[in-house]
Amino acid sequence: LAGEIDPAQTLTTTFRMVNVDHGARKTITKDEMHALMEEAAASGEYDLPRREGSDHITPIDGMTATVMTRIDQVRPDADGSFRNATDPEVLTRVEIEGRRQALEYARFLIDRVPGYGQARLVALSSQIGLRETRRVYGDYRITRDDVLAARQFDDQIGLCGAPIEDHHGGEGTGTTWEYLPEGSAVGIPLRTLIASDSVNTLMAGRCFSATHDAQASIRSMAQCMAMGQASGTAAAMAAAVGGDVRAVDVADLRDQLRKDGATLELA
């Protein structure tokens, strides 16, 4: 469970604003927006747990989408036991807190940020965003060093060029960013999708076999789709050889993924 051994990433309720003056909003930079957040929080008038959130112009005129709220999911109980957002009670608590924070950040935007003076909150995410809950141990556990070195693997089934984006919980209000070498990407090994104690279990998405910090890079949507394609293809091929995923010929799997449009190497 995320947070039990390694740290656990925080959760986010996204929201959208309408009637935003995009031209006026563009008169300040991202860093200036963050400075406004710091000033607002320091004034005591606003409760802003995260001070470097972002807003994004959408194709809909006058609408922005935000990634601003920050909710810590880890909850140690009085008896020392541990729970995170896999627990329904914890998930309920963070859903409520995420919506409370969204209202507070919307108030900050309207009061303090150019372009938002006439804006209104129009929508909340249907469910809070969970960056990390469980991670399964696989035949290989990809690491931070693998990611930052853009390591390649003989059995890779996809690529990731995203930075380590760690929305860490506990103390602090920021996000840690660590970038791969420019123009590079780390390979995603098939072994990170094979559960170590099972013959026929494959994972795809943020539960794959990775350390906390490596997962903070490879958990993104495009990579989750690549893992899903690879897991589905491998499962179909395994069914033809008795159901053992380790009996699948990796070269044949990679050839099939290429035929289906997957990108396995940069060159």
pLDDT tens digits, one per residue of 196-214: 999 999 999 999 999 999 9
Residue 2 within a domain:
no
In a domain, 252, yes or no: yes
Domain boundary among 65, 93, 124: 124
- Residue 61 counted as domain residue: yes
Quick one: average pLDDT of 145-154?
98
Same-domain pairing of 91 and 154: no
Q: Confirm whether 129 is domain-assigned.
A: no
Q: Is the pLDDT of residue 2 over 90?
A: no
The answer to whether residue 42 is domain-embedded is: yes
- Is the same domain home to 43 and 120? yes
Q: Do residues 105 and 208 share a domain?
A: no
Tell me: do 148 and 255 sit in the same domain. yes
- How many domains is the chain partitioned into structurally? 2
Same domain, 244 and 160: yes
pLDDT of residue 169: 61
pLDDT, position 86: 84
167 pLDDT tier (thresholds 50, 70, 90)? confident
pLDDT of residue 237: 98
Q: Which of 9-13, 146-150, 166-170, 230-234 has the lowest mean pLDDT?
A: 166-170
Residues 161 and 245 in one domain: yes
Q: Which of 91, 124, 157 is the last residue of a domain?
A: 124
pLDDT exceeds cutoff 60 at 171: no
pLDDT the model gives residue 7: 72
> Is the pLDDT at 81 greater than 70, yes or no?
no
Cβ distance 238 to 245 under 8 Å? yes
Note whether residue 5 is domain-resident: no
Q: Are 120 and 150 contained in the same domain? A: no
Give one word for 148, left, alpha or beta, with left for phi > 0 and alpha for psi -120 to 50. Answer: alpha
Find the domain containing 39 and state its range. 15-124
Please indicate, yes or no, whether residues 197 and 240 belong to a single structural domain of this protein. Answer: yes
- Average pLDDT score over residue span 150-174: 86
DSSP track, 82-149: EE-TTSHHHHHHHHHHHHHHHHHHHHHHHHHSTT-TT-EEEEE-SS-B---S----BSS-B-HHHHHT
Q: Are residues 169 and 98 in the same domain?
A: no
Same domain, 84 and 186: no
245/188 same-domain check: yes
Residue 95 has φ and ψ, to the nearest 5°, of -60, -45
Position 179 in a domain: yes
- Using an 8 Å Cβ cutoff, are 68 and 105 in contact? yes
Q: Is residue 117 domain-shared with residue 151, that is, in the same domain?
A: no
Q: Is residue 136 part of a domain?
A: no
